Each structure stands twice: as C-alpha cells, then as structure tokens.
Structure 1
Amino acid sequence: MSQPLRFPRAIGIILPSSNRVVERVARSILGAQPGIDACFTRVPYAGHPPDGYDMPAFHRAAELLAQARPNVILWNATRGALIGFEPDRRLAAFVEKETGIPCTTTALATVDYLRRHNLRRIGLVAQGADWEGLRLKQTFGAEGIDIVAGHCLGVGDNFEAAGITPEEIGLHAMRLASVPDLDAVLVWSTNLAGHALTRLARDEIHVPVLDSTTVGFESALDYMTGLFRPLAHA
C-alpha cells in the first residue's frame, strides 16, 4: 500500500510586483534549510491608498497562496514603516482571518528583531527621498527605535533599486557605521541587495548590518521552528 505523500513545510511570500530581490534571497537562505519550500505571489507596487493597502489585491494574493497550504504567510516589503506600522498590523490580522494561516510582515518583524536584540540606535540606508528618511525616523521612533543617522539613495522607481550594487550600499553602510555608539546599520528596502552586503561587509563594518529582506524571511523561518509567534498576535 502506498504511503501518503509528505509535503515539506512552506513559507508563503507576498512581494511587490516590481521586486527582483526577494526570491533570490529566499533561494539563498533556503539552500541551508532543507525540507522547507517557499511559495510566492505578487501584488501591485502602485495603487495603494496613502495610509494603507489595496486590500482586494492582498485578499486575492493570500487566497492563492493559501491553496499551496503554507505554514506562515509573509508580506516581504518595507512599506509598513513608511505609513506607520499599524496598517501592517491590520494587514497581518486580515490575512490570517481570511486564510486561517499565521501572517507577519517585514516591517513588523524588523521592529520585533531590533527590540529583542536591544538594537535601539540605528543607521538607516533607505531607498527613497530625504522626506521618506525623515518619515522613517518618526515611525521607527514611535516604536522605540532611534534612527540616529541615515542615507537616502533617492531612488523613486522600485524596479531601479534592484540595480544598486552591494558595493555601493556597502559604502553608505560603512560611512554610517562610523557614527559613535551605533547599534546596527539597517538596509531598508526589500528591493535593495542588502543580503549580499551582509556577507561582504562582515570584516569591514564593525556593527551588525541588517538586511530588511533577510530579517523578514528569517522571522518566518523562526515561526516555523517555534521561536516566535507571528506579529499579528504581538
């Protein structure tokens, strides 16, 4: 008699339509994590209301992911920080309610990671314009994280952000790392090649370099190994 087919555990990932980095990072991380699948779907990068998300798009994306029966769903994008984190909490709760699958987001996972590791003074390499850097300083500050130094790359086209080299990002990270009493440098966009930078810079930058894409993905992995509850419940 044939045995039932055993399916690997899986992370369901929702990512922005113009992203070219998230899937690459997932493949890199899962290379050292046998027995775990990643399933992907996309939502439009543009068209969200200024203070939230296009919920019908997320409903459809989550509905489709749920058919692959992942153990956790991750919105691997950083928009939530720019609009104040609370919309991400509502989004995670909505996805979980609609699918029955635990959900978190990169923005929520990053705040949780920084708090748990007592990383409170952060240098931020961000994708967008200077006004976005100022807004991020406000929203992270409201969560108890002090952005004490930052560099905004001025890239408004999300697709173009994926073409910025790790070496260029590394130069900005190294400059920020010289700020006294800095706890970490955070690369803030899931379409920036920060994952490659964290490997290149270990011997050159003497504070942790955190990549937002990686933090989000690894938070979902941590859920699968029982290390934390999805942040919709935080």
Structure 2
Amino acid sequence: MSMQLDKVFAPGERFIGVVTPSGNTVVERVTMAILRAFNGVTPLFSRTPVFGESDPYPESYAVDEMLTAAHLLAHAKPDVMLWNGSKGAKIGVQHDRDYVQRVQDQTGIRTTTSILALDDLLRSRGLMRVAIVSPYDSAYQQGLVEAYREAGYEVIAERHRALKDNISFASIPADAIAGMVREAAAHKPDAVLTLCTNFPAATVIPAIEAETGIPMFDSVSIGVWHALRMAGIDTSPARAWGQVFAQ
C-alpha cells in the first residue's frame, strides 16, 4: 500500500490538459484508462458547454467558452492541451486549427484536437478510403459523411445509431458498437473511424482491428495518443488500445 501511495505524486510528473464537452461521460474514463499504462502522466480536465439535443452553434464552435476552459487548464501548466471533441469532423478541421492557434498564442502551451490528430494521421498514411461509425441521427451522420467527402476522403461505408441526445451516446452497448464496426469493416476500407467523443468505442475496436487487419481509429483514444506524442512520450505501453499506439 505504501508503495502505491508514494506513486500518487511522482517526481517529474507530466500533465495533459483535456477540454471535453460538458455532457460527455466517456472522454475522462477512456483517457484515465489509457494513461494507467504510463507512470507519472496525469490528465487534467476542464469542460465547456455541449449537452442535450440542440446546438446553438451548428456550423462553428462556442470559441469563447472553449478558450475559457483552456485558460483554466493553462493555470496548471500542462505539457500539452487537447480538445477532445469531434465536432470538427463535421464543420471542418479548419475550425480546429483556428482554435489550436488561438490557445497556443494565448497560453504558450502546445495544443491539439482529436480531429486534427485523426486527419493528420489518415493523410500521412494515405488512408483515404474510410468507413464512418457513429451514434448520431441520420441527418447529422449525412452531414458528417459529406464533410469527409468534401475534405477529399472516399467514404465507402457508414453505420450510425440514430440517437440525438448527447448523453445517450454513451449508453450504447459494446456488442452493438462491435456489430456496427464489423459491418463497416466488411466493405474493406483503408480505415474505420469511430466518431463522437461520447461514443464508447475505444474499448471495442482494438480486438476488431486485430481480427480484420483494418486500421481503426477512435476519436477519443486518437486524441490521447497524439497528446502523448506531442509531449515526447513513447506511446507503446498503451498498445492494447490499438496498433497506432505501438507504432
């Protein structure tokens, strides 16, 4: 017990600051679970209002609120900051790039987002034929597919759950998620993307990735992966969360 207590405050501890939507119950759990593989790396969380069924900013971010959340995290001087939300996949990654630039300019702390990490990874590896799996309703999912096509990707398959309320996304059973992922993977895309950071797919996709040989990237875990890399931390101890961590 004493050895475990001694590890609570490790010398030279590293911090990753994470901004997450307020209606989200998945990001913190997945982030903490991944970081258990790393000694002396601790997540710090801040929230910004995103909840319910309606979005007052359907084509943009509530930037001032997101910046406030980032500034609160900056008080603790994390090594890296991460916006772990997936809206940029629908409204365009330039919104994420603009947010990152403003946070870095105002705080001096290196910053990334889950969707920037995903987009950069897919393009760098030439994985342009994708399948998209999400919990969203049909209208939002269609907008998501169209946004990826406009960004130059070929979306060859999609599966969605047709839910609207943010909190309900986190309640989808693992076997239902696995079924959607396997159906999408049957179309042989270059990669399967599980999009929505309140969608509990991160624990499901590693086994299916190994089973099918198709790269699979979850919007929550990919953000954590990129934040670790930006902090100069070897991600291989978390290889159980997907092949991307081992590379």
TM-score, structure 1 normalization:
0.88
Tell whether 2:140 aligns with 1:135: no
Q: Distance in 2 between matches of 1:138 and 1:50?
A: 15
2:164 to 156, 159, 163: 156
1:1-234 equivalences under 5 Å are 6-46=11-51, 48-179=56-187, 181-225=188-232
SS in 1 for 2:44: strand
Note the alpha carbon deviations across 1:82-132, whole angstroms, 9 max, x for none. Answer: 112221111111111121111111111110111122211111102212222
Shift of 1:203: 4.7
Which residue in 2 is equivalent to 1:231?
A: none
Q: CA deviation at 1:211?
A: 1.0
1:48: Cα distance to partner? 4.5
Question: Taking structure 1 as reference, are residues 151 and 60 closer, same or farther at Cα in structure 2, changes over 3 Å only?
Answer: same
The one-letter code of the counterpart of 2:221 is T
The letter for the 1-side match of 2:28 is: E
Corresponding position of 2:4: none
Q: Which runs of 5+ in 1 are unaligned?
A: 228-234
Measured in 2, the distance between the counterparts of 1:44 and 1:95 equals 18
Contact conserved, 1:190 with 1:213, CA < 8 A, in 2? yes
Number of residue equivalences:
222
Answer yes or no: is the 8 Å Cα contact 2:160–2:180 preserved in 1: no
Alpha-carbon distance in structure 1 between the residues aligned to 2:137 and 2:33: 29
Equivalent residue for 2:3?
Answer: none
Instruction: Give the percent of matched residue pairs that are identical in Structure 1 and Structure 2.
Output: 33
Q: Tell me the alpha carbon deviations over residues 155-174 of structure 1, each in whole angstroms, 9 at most, x when there is no partner.
A: 11111110112211110111
Superposed CA deviations along residues 177-204 of structure 1, whole A, max 9, x for unmatched, are: 111x411211101111111102342454
Structure 2 CA distance, aligned partners of 1:166 and 1:84?
Answer: 29
Secondary structure (helix, strand or coil) at the match of 1:196 reads coil
Equivalents in 2 of 1:203, 1:138: separation in Å?
29
Q: Answer with 202-211 or 81-90: which moved more.
A: 202-211
Letter in 2 for 1:34: N
Q: Please give the root-mean-square deviation of Cα atoms over the aligned residues, in Å.
A: 1.8
Partner Cα separation in structure 2 for residue 226 and residue 191 of structure 1: 25
Amino acid at match of 2:179: L
User: TM-score when scaled to structure 2?
Assistant: 0.84
Q: Show CA shifts across 1:51-87 (max 9, x none).
A: 2122221122111100111111110010011112221
